[in-house]
Homo-oligomer: A and B are copies of this chain.
Amino acid sequence: MATSASARLQEPRPPASDGMNAADGPDGRSRFVRNAWYIAAWADDVTRSAPLGRTLLNEPLVLWRTEDGIPVALEDRCCHRHVPLSLGRITGRTLQCGYHGLEFDATGQCVKIPGQARIPPGAHVPAFPAVERHRWIWVWMGDPGRADPGQIPDYRWLDSPDWTAPVGEFHLKAHYQLLVDNLLDFSHLQFVHRRTIGTDAIADIPSSTERCENRLEITRWIMDSPPPPLFDRAYGGFGGNVDRWMNCSYTAPSSVTFDIGCALAGTGAPEGDRSQGIEIRSLHGITPETDRTTLYFWGYARNFRLDDDALTELLAKGASATFAEDVEVLAEQQAMLDRSGRTGFVDIGGDSAGLLARRLVAAQLAAETGAC
């Protein structure tokens, strides 16, 4: 079902402003897909030494671990007088509010109130399914009965022994869909990133986009050409021209991974044999924090020269500097959208994947509200 991006552009499309606003509710607040796994934090940042407060989908969460090391996500608001539980302490098996000492177990049930024996009915806080996977703590913000860990997007390159992955995070001052738009569009590379990874060529490389349920797969190949400088420097001599791929996988609502690499030309990479090449996975974990801010987690994994710390450092700095350029321009875009009321957009060819992604999100939202 692969179609070319240009063909995709011929499809009838709703007005652009709809496309940009699909996720907004009538009150001007964003509506977020709730039945999805979102990254709440790096696993290392969720400990037993202190609870961690985070906001996801405009809601306050507190993250901590039980004595068994199991991650827990509760509403970060004591049911007594609404003090954030993240100001409290982790006791043996409970999270203790820092104000009056109420204690909550991993299910959110209040199990102790200092100075009184009785626990009143209603003394609990909402708990959210939480899973540790691929160095992240994932939280399910929707119907708990549908929280299937099997649906957690695949980021196995972060914790596989066959890969080395420096990581980082940004606090993005923009709606998460602006970041998804950004990642699904290659045409901005030569402008936003002209001081880092920008290349004039990239916007002109033909791509194909495949849709499969809640995923988009975008494929780009450049055959039999000189290896690009980054790969040449990072890896060493390929001994000739290479076949090079720049693939992108999007899983709605907000997971984006890139599969980038090259192999000696004619050794079968397009057919799946990458043994004569090297691979990089540029991994982007995106979590709506508020209507106007986003938690942006990233990793930059490679499957070669795994123990070369200097290379790891070099790639980490490069990736971080590049993503920081996006973070900066998206904050400016959000600020202008807030000024201008977000109507009157003119679409271009590079928007096709981003607009498709917004439709997948719109479909998820519609399914949640029973509208389809």
Contact = CB atoms under 8 A, between A and B. Distances in A.
A350 B113 CA distance: 10
Contacts of A347: 80, 120
A266 interface: no
A233 interface: no
B82 A348 contact: no
Main secondary structure of the interface of A (DSSP, over half): loop
A191 B98 contact: yes
A124 to B, nearest CB: 9
Interface string A172-192: 000000000100010110111
A149 interface: no
Contacts of A123: 346
A203 B336 CA distance: 46
A340 interface: yes
A168 interface: no
A166 interface: no
Contacts of A318: none
Q: Which of A113, A332, A346 has the most CB of B within 10 A?
A: A346
A97 interface: yes
A216 B191 CA distance: 51
Nearest to A80: B346
Interface stretch (A27-35, A66-74, A99-107): A99-107
A120 B348 contact: yes
Contact of A115 (B113, B332, B342, B350): B350
Nearest to A6: B116
Top 5 A-B pairs, shortest CB-CB distance? A115-B203, A101-B191, A116-B349, A79-B346, A83-B333
